[in-house]
Structures are given as C-alpha cells and as structure tokens.
Structure 1
Amino acid sequence: MELPQAFPDELFLGRLIRYLLLTGKSERSFSFQVYGSSRVSIHPFLTAGVSRIAELSGEESESLLNRETLAPLFFFYLPKHAISLKEDLLCGDGARAFRHSQLPSFNSGGTLVLKWCPICVSKDLFELGVAYWHRAHQIPGVTSCWEHHVRLLSCELKERQRLFVGLPPLLHRDIEAASAIEIDVARFSYDLLAELERPQPSIDLVDKYRSRLNALGFITPKGTVRRKPLMKALTADLAMYPMQKSLFPRYSTDYHYISELLSAGTNCHPFRHLLLGTWLFKSADEFLNYVVPVEEHCSVQSTSSIKNEIEQRCLMLLKDGNSLEVVYRMTGRSRCFLKRLATMFDIKLNLKPKRLDNNLQQRIIRLARRGVHRRRISSICGIGIGSIEQVISAEPGLVEWRKQCHFESKRRACRAQILRYRQIHPDALRCDIKSDCNAAFFWLYLRDRPWLEKSLPKPMKPCVHIRSL
C-alpha cells in the first residue's frame, strides 16, 4: 500500500481519504485490511492504528503521528496520559485512545466535525490541483484560518466510518471575517503544533503561567492569584469569540476555570491551555522560550518543603510534651490539625478535660467495628460526633470495614425487598418489580446483577399481533 505524498499541514485522515479516492477502494475493505474490522470507528484528528498503516505503506509511524495528527498537542498538555495515549494510537486501540485523551471528561465527546477554510480550498486547487484537509484547522475550539483570517466552515461526521467524507468542497458563499482573538488563537495553535513536531524539553506550565501573571500584576506579593480582575480581563477579551460551553468560562466569576489551569496535576482540555497561552504570551515562540525567574521558580518549588518543615516542627513540639495552645502559638496550626497529627503518629496529648482517653478510644473502635452509627456512638460515649469521626479515621482499615458493612447491609435489605415482593406477588412480571421496587431494583442492577437476574422471573417472550387486512 502506497499512500499519496503528504501536502503541507495535511491531516492524516485526509491522506487516507485521498488514497481511497485515487485507488477506488471501498472504506470497508480498507478498514478490514488495516484494523481487521469493517465497522471500526476512525477518529478525525486522533487516528489510531498508525503503526499498522506505516508498516503497510513503508513510512515511519512516529513521524506520521507527530506530523499529521493532533496527538502532539495532547502529549504536551496531558503529560500524565501521554505514554498510554501514544501506545493506543500506535497499536490501533481507538476506544482506549479516546478515553486516554480525556475528551469524554472534558464534555467534548459529542458530534465530531471536519473544518476547512474556503480560501485555502481555492488556493490548494489553484496551486496543487486538489483541495485537502488541513491539520491546524481541526484543533478543537479553533474557528479561524491562521493564514487567511476568515472563519472556518465545518461539516458534521455523524457515522463511525469517516473515510467516506471526501475532500473539502468549494462553496461560493459569503466569507466571514474572524475576530482578532480568533486569529491570534489560530496562529498561536498553528505555530505551537509545528514546534511540537520536534522533541521538546519538559515544561512546567503552571510555573510559566504564574510567572507571566505575576509580571502582568495578577499575583499578590504573598503568591495568591487576583482572580476577580484576572477573570474580568480574560472574559472581556474573549467576548468576540464564538464560545463553546465546555471550553470557555461560563461567566466573569467562573473562578474554577482559571483555578484548574493554575493547579499542578489537573487535566484540562488542550484548547483551554491554547486560549490562556495566547492571552498571556501572544506567540508560541515567546511561550516556549519564556524563562521563569530563578527566585519565582525556587519559591514555587519550596512551598511543599515548607509545609513538611512545619509539620515536622509540630510533631517535635508535641513529642516534647507541649500543650496544643503552646504549639498553636508557635506554629500557627489549628488545634484540629494538631489533634489529627498526634492521633496519626500515636502521640499522647496533655489535654485538660482528658475525656477522650485511651480506654474511651478503644470503646469507640469496638462499637465502630460492630457497625454502630456515629450518632449512636456519640450518645453512648457522651462526646461529639467530630471526635468520633476523628478516632474512626485514625484507626487503620476501620473506614473501609464500615463501608463494606454498609454495603452488605444495603444489599441484604434490597435483596429482602425483592424476595418479599415476589412472595406476595408470585405472578408479578419483571416490569412490575422494576416499577414497584424501583430503588432496590436499580441498586442491585448496578452492584449485584448476577443475583438479580437469578432471582427475577424469567422474561416472557414477546407476543406478535398479526394485523387483519
């Protein structure tokens, strides 16, 4: 199998479409040859099975993945899932690749589209004799052509077999100009995608964002983010962008939007990063080459170490026999924090009331192991529910044990309700049980389906009613 030569910035799916058009092969036969199934679902910009196609065409799989799909963007902005996503895309597991791309988690698993620029179509037809699908146009959220500054047109991909779509059409309609922010985002995305074709050193996105925000005056001297002015400025600049609900702030006080982007280890849609990167840095080159000052980098890295130092200091003071009040004055940590710390490390506290002594703790643990409710334990022992919860959470394995007991109790109750209903109504159908024992039925359906299927009456065969002519 010899694929047609790739055009500049051509989408990998577009090359496959051109191959089928040139050879006359059917989509089903091609899918069966490559994937072993004629009903496989092919993703437009995260196409799986690259290794198999590269093997058949004699090309390099890594090059195809990095130069003709949007995988580099997902590798860059989702480093925790990059290895798994890459393996799935290469081996051909499209369903797993879709899950590892986190698109379902971002509420972006709806109808897929292919986008094109009408001016690019005319230009490609004039220079190359054929129009093709551009990769940079397919970036989710991008609505403008980076080169011609017009809004992209799109067509929905409603069926799973997406090789039938054909080439982008030449439509004679009014061309709509894009806004300035749309053009900036499209240009930033195109340049960054081109840079990511080559291996890049690991980048701490949070450090870059916070340092740039600090330079713009959105970080306080204590290191906290001025969320109100930041979100007000951001939403004002995005007002001209045709927004999609899941990719943009819902309103000017949607502080959770910016908090997720500035939290280390949080997964966010790549377009959110592209949007913030464009707003902060304007160009991809400035973004990649931006150097975080040493003082800021060290202050961010030392935050966790400072917390550990404070915790160790609290432990040392508590072990020396200091009271909670003294340790609070010296460290600033609350009494609840200090009590929890002492319980975790088995440090005896010199508390004045001395109500929650060792004997009472053992009694609470015994009652908790028997499955007694926290309120009942509180009334029996004469102490607050908060103290009860503290003792239970500090005992290893006790929380899991109580959860398991609660699960077994709930399962017994639901089973008993179904069995009792069947005894009272021996002729009841499945639909009757589902209607009259709705909560128990669905609890068992989700958590104990084998028992439910075994205990329900056998399903009745449907009756066919023949219409008389």
Structure 2
Amino acid sequence: MRLPPPFPDELLLGRLIRHVTASGESAGALAQRLFGSARTSIHPFLTAGLTRLAESSREDAEVLLNRQTLVPLFLFYLPSHAERLQALVLGDDGAKALRESQIPSFGSGHSVCLKWCPQCAQHDLQEYGVTYWHRTHQIPGVTACYKHPVLLQRVELEGRQRVIAGLLPTCNGYPRPASGIESRVAVFSQNLLTNLGEGRLQIDLGTIYRYRLNELGYITSGGRVRRQSLLRRFALEVEQYRPCPDAPLLRSQDDYRYISELLEPGGSHHPFRHLLFETWLFHEADKMLGYRPSQAKPVLAESRTGESHGLEQRCLKLLKEGRSMAEVYRLTGKSRCYLKRLATQHGVPLNLKPRALTSELQQRIIRMAKSGMHREAISKRCGIGIGSVEQVISSEPGLVAWRKRCHWESKRRRCRARITRYRQRHPDVIRKVIKEECNAEFFWLYGNDREWLQQALPPPKAAVGRARPL
C-alpha cells in the first residue's frame, strides 16, 4: 500500500487522513492493515509503529520519524529518555511511547488537538489543490504560525480514532494577529525542528545556558545565578505570550523555580519551556546550535557536592588561622551565620563582639534543649535571641532529631490520654462518637499510632437494619 506523497512539512497523521479521504478506505481497516488492530489510537505528533508502517508503504522509517513527526524534538530535549522513546516509536507500543515522552507527567497529556494557520491553508489550497496539516504547527505550546504573524486555530480530537476522513484544515475564520514573542517562538521552533530533522544532536543545554547567561551578566564571579534580575527581564519579555493548555508559562513574577530547573544538569522538562527560554536567550536556533562560548572555562553550577565541600574546607582553614568573619566573608562570599555555625560544629574559637554566647552558655542551652524545653523559653532564661538558640541547637550533632522525637512522643502521650479519659467518662460510647468528639487526636493516632488506636477503641457493633413492613 502506498500513502500519498508528503507535502513540505506535512505531518504523518495528515498523510493518513488524506489517504482515507481520497481512497474511501475506513480508518479501522487502515489501522488493522498498518498496525494490526482496528482500535489502534494514533497520536498526532508521536505516531508509533513506524517500522511496520514504513514496510507497508515502502518508505524509510527513519525518514518518517525525523521529518514527519515531532519525535526529534523530544529526543533532543529529553536525552535520558531518548533511546527508549525512539525504540518504542519505531515499534508498535504507542501507549508506552507516550509515557516515555513525559507528556502526561508534564500535565499536557489530557488534551489532543490539531492546529493550523488559515493563511497557510489558503496558500496550500492554491499551490497543491488541497490543505494539509503542517508538522511545525503541532509543536506543543506554539500558538503562532512560523510563516505568518497570526495565531493558529485548533480542533480538539476527542475520540479514540484520530484518522478521520475529511478532517483537513479550512480557510475559514478571521486570522488574529500574534504577539511578537509568539511569532519569535514559532520561527525559532521551526528552525530548530528543521535542523533536528537532518540528524540527532546532543547538547548539554544546562551548560550552554550558563555560558550564555554569563556573557549577558546574569552569573556572578562565584558561579551563582542572579535570579531576580534574570527573572524580571525574562518575565517582561514573555508576558505577552497567550496561555494555552499545552504551554507551561511562568506562574507568577516570582517563579524562580521555572529558571532554576532549566539550569539543572540532566533535567527533564517540557520542550516548550526550553523553546521559550532559548528564544529569549539566543533569538535564533542556528545561533543556539552553533554556540561556542567565549570563555575558556565553563561556569559551573553552584550546587556541586565537591565544590561545596572544598569551599567549606577553605572557610574552616581561614577561621582556624584567626581571620575575622568579615575578612572570611569577603574572601569566600559565605554569610556570617554560615561561618558561625561552621565554626561551632568544628570547635573553632571565634573572637566575636559582643561575647554573650560563651561556651558555658552554649552548654547550658544544649542541656535545656535536651530536656525538651521550648526555644522561646530557653531564649528568655538565657537572655539571648531565639535565632542564637536555634543556631546552637542545630550545631549539636543529633540534637535536632532528638528534639523532634521528643515532641512526637509528647504528642502521642497527649492524644492517647485524651482518648483514654474520654472512654473512662463514657464507657458505653461507640467509635463514631469518639471520632467526632476527639477528632484531632483520633486522626493523629490513626496516621501515627494506628495499632494502639484500634486496641483502645470499643469493639465495632454490628449494623442494625430497619425492619421491612409486611
């Protein structure tokens, strides 16, 4: 069986739709012959079973994958899932391929749609005599046409069967203008997808993001990201992007996590988040793919275990040399609170003014903390701030865990006593009444000490039904 030859940038599902439209063959019969089951549900842009389909249509499965689906985009942005995703798409398990693409995890797997541009449809009708579905229009989150500065129209595919005869783009409708950022993201996405269709690329995105941000002045000399200024500028740039179900945008002006997660090495994020950030950061896909940093050494992430340990040892060395905390702060960038806690943990003496928190007072605080006394009470007795008390407690190994355990045991004793006393006062009470009258204690014990609760409660009574009238 031969499918209609593909038009430029045509979606594979669109070719199947054109086939059933022109040939009159039912979608179920086509799915039975190509995929072995009439109930096969074909995903619009992550079509699976490509090896079998290529053999039936005498085409190359790699060409179908790289130039008629959006799989290359997911292989590029999800390198840890790439090998398995490609194998599943070439195979026959579309459900597993969809899960491997992480779309359901991103919260974008519930709505399946097809998008088109009315002006592109009009051009295709004049040029080829028929409209067809463009692959680039289907990129999740993209809302504008890469050729025309207008918004895409969309149709939801609610049924299981997506190969619907006659389901082709229309030229009807008034085109709505797209914003500048929407058009730029569409052009960037189209250029990137075209490059990815030529062959699989592997790029450490987190590293090149940091290189580029460093060139723009958003990385400090210590390798930290200036998140506030970066997010303000980025949010201002993308605020005109219209929200849609498959476009994960910034939640607020303070959504620092949106940026921080993209800079983490090996992260798994929605492709649109990368496309939006890269459009702002590089402006052009060719520039991003061919990016070569100007500096010799990469800007490392601040959350590296080895680097943190080395910085800690350097701080300790400087403190043991008798340097002042102000000087150590200037040399390392670590705060006074961090330096005080580090010195206390390792027994390094500090010459501080005022000298209220002496070693004798620290031992007294530790003794009161071990007895279970509240931080505020310790603060009042010792005449120092609560923050200083918390610092001493956290610097003592195992003390925080011990206090948490004591508080948990105290809570359990209070809840047990409440249930026990209530049962003593009401010996004939049933479980339902205990749950209503001792609600907080009942549910705390149910979640933390269920075995004791079941033994302490009265035995359940058998339900008594109504007598039926004769």
TM-score bin, normalised by smaller chain: 0.5 to 0.7
Aligned to 1:300: 299
1:169 aligns with 2:168: yes
Q: Structure 1: how far apart are the matches of 2:88 and 2:138?
A: 20
How do 1:233-312 and structure 2 match up within 5 A? 235=236, 239=240, 241-244=241-244, 247-249=248-250, 256=256, 259-260=259-260, 263-265=263-265, 269-294=270-295, 298=297, 300-301=299-300, 311-312=312-313
Q: Structure 1: how far apart are the matches of 2:406 and 2:31?
A: 52
CA contact (8 A) 2:361 2:382 kept: no
How do 1:352-431 and structure 2 match up within 5 A? 353=355, 355=357, 357=359, 360-361=362-363, 364=366, 367-368=369-370, 373-376=374-377, 378=379, 384-395=385-396, 399-400=400-401, 402-403=403-404, 426-427=429-430
Q: Structure 1: how far apart are the matches of 2:164 and 2:404?
A: 52
TM-score, length-scaled by structure 2: 0.66
CA contact (8 A) 1:9 1:134 kept: yes
CA contact (8 A) 1:136 1:189 kept: yes
Q: Structure 1: how far apart are the matches of 2:235 and 2:112?
A: 27
Q: Identity of paired residues, percent?
A: 41
CA contact (8 A) 2:141 2:272 kept: yes
CA contact (8 A) 1:17 1:164 kept: yes
Q: Structure 2: how far apart are the matches of 1:269 and 1:184?
A: 18
Q: Structure 2: how far apart are the matches of 1:398 and 1:95?
A: 47
- Which letter maps to 2:170? L
Aligned to 1:152: 152
- Which letter maps to 1:316? K
Aligned to 1:73: 73
The count of residues paired between Structure 1 and Structure 2 equals 446
- Which letter maps to 1:187? V
Aligned to 2:320: 319
Aligned to 2:183: 183
Local SS of the residue matching 2:114: strand
Change (3 A) 1:459 1:258: same
1:93-138 residue CA offsets vs partner (Å, 9 max, x unmatched): 8489658737655x64653432223455566677778765433222
Q: Structure 2: how far apart are the matches of 1:462 and 1:28?
A: 55
Q: Structure 2: how far apart are the matches of 1:43 and 1:205?
A: 30
Q: Structure 2: how far apart are the matches of 1:44 and 1:373?
A: 60
Local SS of the residue matching 1:294: coil
1:58-115 residue CA offsets vs partner (Å, 9 max, x unmatched): 668776655554344344345566677668877958489658737655x646534322
Point out the structure with max Rg over C-alpha.
2
Q: Structure 2: how far apart are the matches of 1:422 and 1:279?
A: 66
Change (3 A) 1:343 1:109: farther
CA contact (8 A) 1:88 1:94 kept: no
Change (3 A) 1:237 1:378: closer
1:146 CA drift (Å): 2.2
Q: Structure 1: how far apart are the matches of 2:215 and 2:379?
A: 49
Q: Structure 1: how far apart are the matches of 2:42 and 2:461?
A: 40
Aligned to 1:25: 28
CA contact (8 A) 1:43 1:94 kept: no
Change (3 A) 1:373 1:6: farther
Change (3 A) 1:262 1:302: closer
Local SS of the residue matching 1:300: coil
Change (3 A) 1:438 1:78: farther
After TM superposition, the structure 1 stretch with the greater mean CA deviation from structure 2, 16-25 or 71-80, is 16-25
CA contact (8 A) 1:9 1:136 kept: yes
After TM superposition, the structure 1 stretch with the greater mean CA deviation from structure 2, 454-463 or 14-23, is 454-463
TM-score, length-scaled by structure 1: 0.66
CA contact (8 A) 2:210 2:263 kept: no
1:282 CA drift (Å): 3.5
1:199 aligns with 2:200: yes
Aligned to 2:212: 211
Question: What is the CA RMSD across the aligned residues, in angstroms?
Answer: 5.6
Local SS of the residue matching 2:144: coil
Local SS of the residue matching 1:154: strand
1:167 CA drift (Å): 5.6
1:259 CA drift (Å): 4.4
Local SS of the residue matching 1:347: coil
1:392 CA drift (Å): 4.1
CA contact (8 A) 1:45 1:138 kept: yes
1:152-184 residue CA offsets vs partner (Å, 9 max, x unmatched): 22122446x353666633435234054354333
1:192 CA drift (Å): 0.7
- Which letter maps to 1:142? V
**What residue ranges of structure 1 are gaps of 5+ in the alignment?**
none
Aligned to 1:134: 134
Q: Structure 1: how far apart are the matches of 2:134 and 2:421?
A: 64
Local SS of the residue matching 2:278: helix
Change (3 A) 1:332 1:269: closer
Aligned to 1:348: 348
- Which letter maps to 2:28? K
**What residue ranges of structure 2 are gaps of 5+ in the alignment?**
none
1:381-417 residue CA offsets vs partner (Å, 9 max, x unmatched): 7764434433443455554555566556656766777
CA contact (8 A) 1:150 1:177 kept: yes
Q: Structure 2: how far apart are the matches of 1:360 and 1:270?
A: 52
1:225-264 residue CA offsets vs partner (Å, 9 max, x unmatched): 596698468736763x43449644567x557387447744
1:247-292 residue CA offsets vs partner (Å, 9 max, x unmatched): 44567x5573874477444765432332333344443112211322
Q: Structure 2: how far apart are the matches of 1:46 and 1:459?
A: 55
Q: Structure 2: how far apart are the matches of 1:342 and 1:309?
A: 16
How do 1:34-53 and structure 2 match up within 5 A? 44-46=44-46, 50=48, 53=49
Change (3 A) 1:390 1:103: farther
